[in-house]
Each structure stands twice: as C-alpha cells, then as structure tokens.
Chain A
C-alpha cells in the first residue's frame, strides 16, 4: 500500500525545512453523516519526526485538525541526504511510518 505520508525536507545549509501532508479522514466525532448518524471519531493523535535517532518535532492532535492534515516546521542541522523518519498513530491504534531523504 502506498504510504499515507508525503513529506518534503529541504536543507538550506543551516536549517532544514519540513513540510508533511498526510492522508487521513480526521473525523472529530461531532459530525453527522447524511443519515443523521454521528461519524465516530477517527483522527491522528500523535505525529513524530526523527532525525539522527532524535525527535525534532512532535505533534499532538485532536479532532480539530483538518482532514488530510498539513504541517510545516524547521529545525537546525540536518544534512542533505540524511534520513528523516516520520510516523503517526491514530485514536484507533493504526499507524504509518515513512523515511524521507533531506534534499
């Protein structure tokens, strides 16, 4: 299965800018479907970025984050060709992980 995570990490020498886009419904549990039934909550709770075995960014999310979430941040260091590991876990225990090369 194709990864749900699309990530782009670009090094400018001093800092590495990371943009990630994830495919996920991010159902908050407050929305009703066409039949008037509540769509149960289903959202990513934690998204982590690791470089060189150390966390560089952790996102804790609730149901208030938009569908197919996007996040952007930057960290100091990070070499071109280095591996950035990205993984998420949702409230149902599902997970996905990918590794991106810093460009």
Chain B
C-alpha cells in the first residue's frame, strides 16, 4: 500500500516537472520568434542581436540606428589581457538621460557580449568581465536621449578565451 502511494507520488512529481519544463521551453520559443526591432526599448531578451556576427549588424539589430564616437563615453579595459577568458571591462558616461549601455567585442564569433538597461535613477556606469577570443577592438555603446554614442579601444589578448 505504502509503495503504491510512493510510486504514485513520484509519477505525479515527474509529470509536474515535465509540464514545467515544457512551459519553459515554450516561453523560450515564443521570445525567440518575436521581431527584435527596438529590443533595447522593452524587457525582451534581444536574442537576434546576440546572434549577429559583426558589430554593425548587432548594433542595428539591437537599436535600429548607428552610433557616433563620443568622448563622453568612458571605456576602461586593460591594454593587454593575459587571459582572454576573463577580461575586466567597465563603461561609464557623463551623458544625461542614459537608458542603456552595451559592450561589443569585434573579433568574437558573436560581437555583442552584454547589454544593460539603465532605468532613471540608476548611475550610467557598469563593470563586468567578458571573454575575448583574440586581440580585438572593444566597443562601448551608450544610448542617451534616444541617440547612440560610442568609444572604441583595442585590447591585446595573449591567450584566447574561446578555446582551441
């Protein structure tokens, strides 16, 4: 009797687990199918932007416009990264009304590495650690007042972060 009960409970759990997994996979597919136009403006994960190979395509997919160079975007990155797997990079800006900050690594298989949404009241400054396949330009994009501004810096990598 007890064993039957246990067996039944286990089966029910498995079924529930399965249902949750299916629901999650389903959600993933829906967001995948959505058009990425102005993805940075809403809360959706900009899946397509992260799949683009070049800087230009990733920026276009993410924002739908191009960036102009600006000295008001500050990009802190090492001149030489000994380990391409962990490159500390930080971006900040003195521009007003910053709504997002994105970081791209030109020579990576997918250029876009990270994109941060900055709601009002959050300081336009972010630090993180990125992977770099090889020596490459790192591009910081700041979206402020609906316009895009960028700064580029080359980081030399002695050991790549993307394996063989």
**Is the beta-carbon distance between B128 and A93 smaller than 8 angstroms?**
no
B27 within 8 A of A: yes
The verdict on A31 contacting B117 (CB below 8 Å), with A64-B108, A66-B130 known, is: no
Interface residues of B (CB under 8 A from A): 21, 24-25, 27-28, 43, 45-47, 50, 85-87, 90, 105, 108-110, 112-119, 121-123, 125-131, 133, 161-164
Choose among B27, B113, B122, B127 the residue that contacts A71 (Cβ–Cβ < 8 A): B127
Cβ-closest 4 pairs across A and B: A93-B24, A64-B113, A31-B163, A62-B50
Q: Among the listed B117, B119, B129, B162, which residue makes an inter-chain contact with A70, where contact means beta carbons less than 8 Å apart?
A: B129
Cβ-neighbour of A62 out of B113, B122, B126 (below 8 A): B113
Check if B129 sits within 8 Å of A64, measured CB to CB: no
A64-B25 in contact given A57-B117, A58-B116 (Cβ < 8 Å): no
- Which label, helix, strand, loop or mixed, suits the secondary structure of the B interface? mixed
Find A73's partner among B43, B50, B112, B125 (CB 8 Å cutoff): B125
Which residues of A come within 8 Å of B, CB atoms?
15, 26, 28, 30-32, 45-46, 54-67, 69-77, 91, 93
Contact between chains at B122 and A73 (CB < 8 Å): yes
* Contact in complex: A60, B116 (CB < 8 Å): yes
Distance (whole angstroms) from the CB of A17 to the closest CB of chain B: 9
Cα–Cα distance between A45 and B131 once the two chains are bound (Å) = 15
- Is the Cβ of B130 less than 8 Å from the Cβ of A46? no
Q: What are 6 A-B contacts with C-beta separation under 8 Å?
A: A62-B112, A64-B112, A66-B130, A67-B86, A75-B123, A76-B121
Contact A57 B45 (CB under 8 A): no
Instruction: Considering the complex, give the chain B residue whose CB is closest to the CB of A67.
Output: B85
In the complex, chain B residues whose CB is within 8 Å of the CB of A75: 121-123
User: In the complex, which of the residues A15, A62, A67, A72 contacts B114, with contact meaning CB atoms closer than 8 Å?
Assistant: A62
Contact in complex: B128, A60 (CB < 8 Å): no
**A66 and B131 contact, CB distance less than 8 A:** yes
A63 touches B110 (CB 8 A): yes
* A60 near B123: Cβ-Cβ < 8 Å: no
Q: A58-B116, A63-B50, A66-B129 are in contact. List 4 more A-B contacts (CB 8 A).
A: A55-B43, A61-B113, A66-B161, A75-B123
